[in-house]
Amino acid sequence: MSTLRDNENFVAESLQTYFKKLNKNVYFEKGEDPPDVCFYIDDTKVSVEITDLDENNLNSRRTVESGYLSFFTKINKEFESLIDERVQLHILFDHGYNKIKIIDKEFRKYLRYLIKNNKFQIGDNIKDGIDNVNFSISISKISKDGKKIVGGIIPSLESQGMSLDEKALYIVKNRIDDKNYKCQNVKKPIWLALFDNYFNKFTNFETQEHIEFYEDVLENIEDFGIFDTILIVFENKDVLEINRS
């Protein structure tokens, strides 16, 4: 079993200190990835997935978009024989840096439903969304030797030119969505620990500004998915705990 990375170990030790201060009997051990660690708090075993709040979540457009381009090739092969020979579908994903794996299965089901129920009429434009990925499907007459499915991708406008507050909200949502997918088969209860090592906004931890900042961010997120609790861990080992169970 591999050892914890430096940041993961820092977060785990910070959480252990936090719960000990709450007079809990607590220790942790390396998890099976997922989860990263398993905590034993009093008589309860809790799976904890750990991740950074990292600007790379905003800068990974090339990697994300290559996934969508590969997806278009796959669905062409899967659905071309099912689509009316006169029809071409133009699919545009407004992905906002969410990876295709988040909606892969559901979008295939959605597309199969539309085909089965003859929902594609030339000239129509269908707009919808799945798990924070918006998309449109325009239906046109197929060109000679054209593919049945033509794809395009754009980053969501909400991920560009944002304030620090907006950027934090976006990145936290991104981490929650991504880890929900990764940890969907992990036994509950499961918590998500987010390490604030990116923004460097907070240098004076004697105030409560850092806590209040993330309280406001998390207040704007209604659904934590599979996670009962979100924990923000700071560089000074402070911990903000938000429960939604």
Cβ pair 48, 61 in contact under 8 A: no
What percentage of the chain exceeds 90 in pLDDT?
Answer: 52
**What DSSP string describes 21-32?**
HTT--EEEEE-S
Mind listing the pLDDT tens digit for each residue in 106-159?
999 999 999 999 888 899 999 999 887 889 999 998 877 678 898 887 755 444
Domain that holds residue 73: 59-159
Q: How far apart are CA 196 and CA 51, in angstroms?
A: 9
Residue 14: per-residue pLDDT: 96
Using only the alpha carbons of the chain, give its radius of gyration.
22
Kindly state whether residue 169 falls inside one of the protein's structural domains: yes
Let me know whether 153 and 87 are in one domain: yes
Name the burial class of residue 234, with classes exposed (0-12), middle (13-18) and buried (19+) by CB atoms within 10 angstroms of its CB.
middle
- Residue that finishes a domain, picked among 159, 177, 199: 159
Kindly state whether residue 1 falls inside one of the protein's structural domains: no
Angle at 14 between CA 13 and CA 18, to 5 degrees: 115
- End-to-end, the C-alpha distance of the chain in Å comes to 31
Res. 199 pLDDT band, cuts 50 70 90: low
- Residue that finishes a domain, picked among 134, 159, 184: 159
Let me know whether 37 and 20 are in one domain: yes
Residue 187: per-residue pLDDT: 92
Let me know whether 153 and 167 are in one domain: no
Let me know whether 64 and 153 are in one domain: yes
Let me know whether 22 and 88 are in one domain: no
Q: How far apart are CA 168 and CA 152, in angstroms?
A: 27
128-153: b (≥16 Cβ within 10 Å) or e: eebebbbbebbbbebeeeeebbbbeb
Per DSSP (E only), the strands in 142-200 are 149-154, 190-195
Q: Which of 112, 131, 121 is nearest to 89 (CA)?
A: 121
Let me know whether 139 and 173 are in one domain: no
Kindly state whether residue 172 falls inside one of the protein's structural domains: yes
- Residue that finishes a domain, picked among 122, 141, 159: 159
Q: Which of 2, 47, 7 is nearest to 28 (CA)?
A: 47
Let me know whether 188 and 178 are in one domain: yes
Q: How far apart are CA 16 and CA 40, in angstroms?
A: 10
Let me know whether 152 and 190 are in one domain: no
Let me know whether 196 and 236 are in one domain: yes
Let me know whether 66 and 153 are in one domain: yes
Question: The domain that contains 237 carries what CATH number?
Answer: 3.40.1350
Overall average pLDDT of the 212-223 stretch: 92
Kindly state whether residue 207 falls inside one of the protein's structural domains: yes
Let me know whether 19 and 36 are in one domain: yes
Kindly state whether residue 84 falls inside one of the protein's structural domains: yes
Kindly state whether residue 217 falls inside one of the protein's structural domains: yes
pTM for the model: 0.62
Name the burial class of residue 76, with classes exposed (0-12), middle (13-18) and buried (19+) by CB atoms within 10 angstroms of its CB.
middle
Kindly state whether residue 237 falls inside one of the protein's structural domains: yes
Count of domains for the chain = 2
Residue 61: per-residue pLDDT: 55
Q: Which of 100, 103, 105 is nearest to 67 (CA)?
A: 100
Let me know whether 133 and 212 are in one domain: no
